[in-house]
Amino acid sequence: MVYFLIFLFLFSCKEQEYNDYNPIAPSICEYEDITGTCCPEAELDCNNICNGNSAFNCNNACVSIAYIDACNGCNDSNALNYNENSTDDYNCIYDNPPENYTLVWNDEFNSPEIDLSRWNFEIWGAGMFNNEEQAYSSRSENAYIENGKLIIKALKENYNNADYSSARMTTQNKGDWKYGRIEVRAKLPTGLGTWPAIWMMPTNSVYGVWPNSGEIDIMEHIGCDNGNIHGTIHCSEYNFVNNTQQGGTLNNILAVTGTDVDQFHTYTIEWDDSSINWYVDNISYYTYYKNGDDYTTWPFDQNFFIILNLAIGGDWGGICSFESTAFPQMLEIDFVRVYQ
């Protein structure tokens, strides 16, 4: 009887050991992503997220799985951005790239419709941020392509419980980059109360919510600012909430370039692992330098995406009265180009 009980005990132990055994359980964490999830490196997506939803498309760009078949470039073999896999003939460019750079993404806005494989619309009501007075929509009344230009149009109308409507477009998860030269050729509105912006936000808030993970403002202008162009960064240490933001101003664009903001200019940043440089028409006017490895002053070592929007009023755009401003007001974009 004693031998039988010993046998049962040993058998039950072996059975428990067998049931607890998981032959595919990893003995160590091969890779921990920014969410704290562990997985084998083979299960990372192209944004280094475990089992994430992004992959490289046929032009080797990291995009949403939903747009994995989208090929950047054009099918004209004479074009700078020729891609034999692309069926796109709307975004061909023939300019020489800046020295030491290669074109990796662009939109020339020559297609009949806004390319939703490249752009998202953000939609919300007035007052969501900065006490702005417009509601953003995805309607063709507020954003459309005309004569090879993207038009973002602000209307004075009763829309979605707001007195104004406009559009805000992003490349998030369809165009995201760490470092490079970003060029946007644009014509700005000049009406009082207008606040057009070309800027960048982090694809993944690696260091926490705004401002910890950073913001890069390539171009901002407000209608009553006498043709001044602003380039700014925000981060944990330097941000407008604390009035410590770091940036520069190109004073009086007319005097510097010969034409005013209501004509086309190319607004540019060059961003690498040690600095961000701002330009208008290749005229440098500000540089922000990395001064340590602490994210509180340099969160700019992650992927960022582009935002184009036209706000009305708000904490900055509304600093002067704009009751008499004529509407519609328009932000026109000729092209967006990204080089690395």
What residues are labeled active site?
A: 215, 220
Q: In the prediction, which pLDDT does 228 show?
A: 97
The predicted-structure confidence for 1-40, as pLDDT tens digits, reads as follows: 444 444 444 444 444 444 444 444 445 788 988 888 999 9
296 vs 223, 243, 292, 293, CA distance in Å? Answer: 32, 15, 9, 9
CA-CA distance, 251 to 267, in Å (whole number)?
14
* Measured distance CA(108)–CA(216) in Å, rounded: 22
Question: Both tokens of residue 21?
Answer: 């055994």
Give the CA angle between residues 287, 293, 295 to the nearest 5°. Answer: 85
Average pLDDT, the chain: 89
Neighbours of 254 (CB within 10 A): 13
pLDDT digits (tens, 9 = 90+) for 300-329: 999 999 999 999 999 999 898 888 789 999
Burial 275-307 (b: 16+ CB within 10 A, else e): ebbbbbbeeebbebeeeeeebebbbbebbbbbb
**Mean per-residue pLDDT for 58-85?**
80
Compute the distance between CA of residue 222 and CA of residue 230 in angstroms, rounded to an integer: 9
- Considering the chain, what percentage of its residues have pLDDT values greater than 90? 69
Classify the C-alpha dihedral 100-103-107-110 as positive or negative.
Answer: positive
Number of neighbours of residue 226 by Cβ within 10 angstroms: 12
Dig out the tokens for 258 from the structure. 């010969």
Structural domains of the chain, with CATH: 90-339 (2.60.120.200)
What phi, psi does 138 have (nearest 5°)? -110, 15
Q: Is the pLDDT of residue 240 over 90?
A: yes
pLDDT classification of 46: cutoffs 50, 70, 90: confident
The residue among 129, 164, 190 whose CA lies nearest residue 331 is 190
Encode pLDDT of 134-181 as tens digits.
999 999 999 999 999 999 999 999 999 999 999 999 999 999 999 999
Is it the case that residue 204 has pLDDT exceeding 70?
yes
- pLDDT over threshold 50, residue 293: yes
Q: What local confidence, expressed as pLDDT, does residue 67 receive? A: 65
Which uninterrupted H or E stretch holds 65? Answer: none
Q: Say whether pLDDT at 197 is over 60.
A: yes
Average pLDDT over residues 267-285: 98
Of 70, 58, 37, 47, whose CA–CA distance to 202 is shortest?
A: 47
